[in-house]
Amino acid sequence: MNESKASLIGFGFAMVPHLAVAWGYVYFIDGGQPTFWLALGILIAVRLFFSIMEAVGSDLAWRFFARQKMVAYLLGIFRANAFPAKKYADDDFGNYCARLLHAQPKKPDCIRHLEYIQTFLLIHEKRGIFDGLRMHTVVDTAFAQYMAGIPKVLN
């Protein structure tokens, strides 16, 4: 089952309680079809309003608190495992990671933590595009801060 089909099925199941509440409202006030559609529209509008409020609150929490905590956490992983310097000055985290995973000799702790970070990114990518982008930005920021603090390798 593809993701859009699963989303539509989820939306359908989420609408069942709304339909039931709208029908119950119409039943108790002895209303007709226009009352049902009005009640359903109001329920959907209220749900949309609270979804927007939750999204704004989540975004503010991310911007003012969670992003810094995640950068510090990943920076701690980089520092605790003494990741080696970049081989090339223009390497980003993806190139750096691929180079370390295929390098010889391998440092088992570095490899384990790089795989952990890659799994972390994959999990957040699967949760959604915005969550994935946020986490990639966090990893890139932590990586840049870590690399700024160690000696440069020039090639």
Provide the residue-wise pLDDT of the chain in tens; the chain has 155 residues.
566 788 788 888 888 998 899 999 899 988 888 899 999 999 999 999 999 999 999 899 989 999 999 999 999 998 888 888 888 878 888 888 888 888 777 777 788 888 899 999 999 998 888 888 999 999 999 999 999 888 765 55
Are the C-beta atoms of 139 and 121 separated by less than 8 Å? yes
The neighbour count for residue 96, using CB atoms within 10 Å, is 19
Are the C-beta atoms of 26 and 39 separated by less than 8 Å? yes
Q: What do you get for the CA distance between the two ends of the chain, in Å?
A: 48
What integer pLDDT is reported at residue 1 of this predicted model? 57
pTM, two decimals, is 0.71
- Judge if the upstream peptide bond of residue 34 is cis by omega within 30 degrees of 0: no
What integer pLDDT is reported at residue 140 of this predicted model? 93
Domain locations along the chain: 1-60, 81-155
What sign for the dihedral angle of Cα 79, 81, 86, 92?
Answer: negative
